[in-house]
Structure 1
Amino acid sequence: MQNYKDLLVWKKAHQLTLEVYKVVSTYPKEEIYSLVSQLKRASSSIATNIAEGTGRFSQKDLAHFLQIALGSSHEVEYLLLLSKDLGFINNDNYFQLEKNINEIKAMLISLIKKVRL
């Protein structure tokens, strides 16, 4: 198919994952095996599924993995809201991460529509 590293949406998803890893390093230790772990897995799942989808041989397979990436982005969006409401991240960090995740979601939706044509 194509090189996932050339896709802007993958680059943004990868950057989001790096940002999430930095932010969760400040979470309380008792959250390491719950919220921290789930946020790390969900955020890395976005870029991972984009990469896996581009390695497939059909547009249908690519669309499937992009859908999974979109689902993971919704999961990250909620987990960030939960983190903010629990006081683990401040409003500035939350709003920046929310902006980034919304850009990624919009890009994924657009790409899914394009791939399905």
Structure 2
Amino acid sequence: MNRTVRPHIPSVRCRYPRPCVCLVPALTLAKELTRLCQEKGLQPEWQPLLTDRDRLQEATIEKDGNVITTRTHVSGQVGNVFKATGIALPANISELPPRTRASASSTDPKNVVVTLAPLRACH
């Protein structure tokens, strides 16, 4: 006789539906962000702030082993909000030490790699 044994998982009835479980930490973070901004005399509006934050991107350019990372200009109140929270934005342009590639050709235009990504803040 071939029987499959399944573990018994007790059913738990939640008082709150699942989306509320994620909503509570988000509201806590929003409240803390508001508090930090008010301490610095800022009263940002949420929708324009989120739009300005979404505009922040970084691009990484690789050519012949050289790697340069650049980010878009900070607009609106996003820079002040980052400052109020103590989060440093990365430099506008940063250059990493050159990498060595055996197959890299300095005259080949196909040897350029550009990567775009949302901006990651420095801690």
TM over 0.5: no
Taking structure 1 as the reference length, the TM-score comes to: 0.26
Larger RCO (CA within 8 A; separation ≥ 6): 1
Taking structure 2 as the reference length, the TM-score comes to: 0.25
Q: Which has the higher helix share?
A: 1
The structure with the largest alpha-carbon Rg is 2
Q: Which has the higher strand share?
A: 2
